[in-house]
Amino acid sequence: MTRKDYEAIEYALYSRYNSYPNPSVQLGVVYGVACDIAFELEKTNKAFDREHFLAIVRGERELNSKPNRKHELIITCFHDAMAECSCGKWTYVYPGLRTRAQIEEHFKMHTRQGKTGAN
Ligand SMILES: [Zn+2]
């Protein structure tokens, strides 16, 4: 998908989400769908920022705003595993062999914490 495709999804969800009073059942349903879509997009695009996407849906960020920082996994070594995130707030060191999948599992915990950026 292109950036325009993501923006189209964001716009559709944002428009629908903001057409209901808060609180309301409909609002909750729309937000649930937004979370489901974000979850699926995250699977196919490592650079996808779920928290930013949902902030746009809630109207807390501008529709065409960019995420504050991208989280991209950089693996520097598999033997005595070493990896880091492009945001600069996460590093991973393991004294022994790790597979990409094992490193990605740890990396996912970092990207899910989003705003704090802590380990
Ligand atoms: Zn990061």
pTM over 0.85: no
Distance 58 CA to ligand 1 centre (A): 23
Query: How far does the centroid of ligand 1 lie from the alpha carbon of residue 14, in Å?
Result: 26
pLDDT of residue 75: 92
pLDDT value of residue 46: 79
| Distance in Å, CA 89 to ligand 1 centroid | 6
> pLDDT grade, residue 118 (50/70/90)?
very low
Ligand 1 geometric centre to CA of 66 (Å): 15
E-only strand ranges, 15-103? 73-77, 82-85, 91-93
Instruction: Answer whether residue 113 shows pLDDT above 80.
Output: no
21 prior amide bond cis, ω within 30? no
The pLDDT score that the predictor gives to residue 1 is 87
Contacts of 52 (CB under 8 A, 6+ apart): 61, 65, 67, 68
Closest CA to 33 of 47, 17, 45, 21: 17
Domain boundaries, the chain: 3-57, 73-113
Kindly give the distance from the C-alpha atom of residue 43 to the centroid of ligand 1, in angstroms, as a whole number: 16
